[in-house]
Structure 1
């Protein structure tokens, strides 16, 4: 049975789409092809690092989302301001 390792992981929109749907196609809307591919690799690496030791990230409670935050993403560490979405690290 999985247990909660961290119940307050706040991630950016880019990380959320990969965590929830394994979908990075939204990056193509804002970045050229090479930049989108590089960003996708960066996000996959960040998520893999967070999921080390057999842990895994899951989408959390949308009531805990922040519409606007200047805090860095707990996953990819981007410092761009924007939405932060609640996720849970399970182990």
Structure 2
């Protein structure tokens, strides 16, 4: 099935970056306690699952489109904490949704 770009402006926080790109949430341990880190990981994984079910597959985007500091919310988890944003894309099939 052919794939098309659903969203080319999907900018995510560093927490989401680690989980989407590497399936690794260990970085959360550095800034949060054990319980808070586990809750944050679940929050992110739930957001990823919803996006992938409703919109399409999240894929690593263009590293040159990295934004060092942004006050825009993360497109994945919605966190409003200002900081870096990393470019990802959402890919979907050409079939009707």
Question: What secondary structure is seen at the aligned counterpart in 1 of 2:85?
Answer: strand
Distance of 1:70 and 1:88 partners within structure 2: 20
With normalisation by structure 2, the TM-score equals 0.90
1:53 positional shift: 3.9
1:18 equivalent in structure 2 = 19
1:66 positional shift: 0.4
Gaps of 5+ in 2: 93-97
Runs of 4+ more than 3 Å apart: none
Give the paired residue count: 91
Q: Does the C-alpha gap of structure 1 residues 54 and 86 become closer, same or farther in structure 2, counting only changes over 3 Å?
A: closer
1:4 equivalent in structure 2 = 5
Question: What secondary structure is seen at the aligned counterpart in 2 of 1:15?
Answer: helix
1:67 equivalent in structure 2 = 68
Gaps of 5+ in 1: none
Which shows bigger deviation, 32-41 or 54-63?
54-63
Distance of 2:9 and 2:45 partners within structure 1: 20
With normalisation by structure 1, the TM-score equals 0.95
1:54 positional shift: 6.9
Question: What secondary structure is seen at the aligned counterpart in 2 of 1:79?
Answer: coil
**What's the RMSD between the two structures over aligned residues?**
1.0
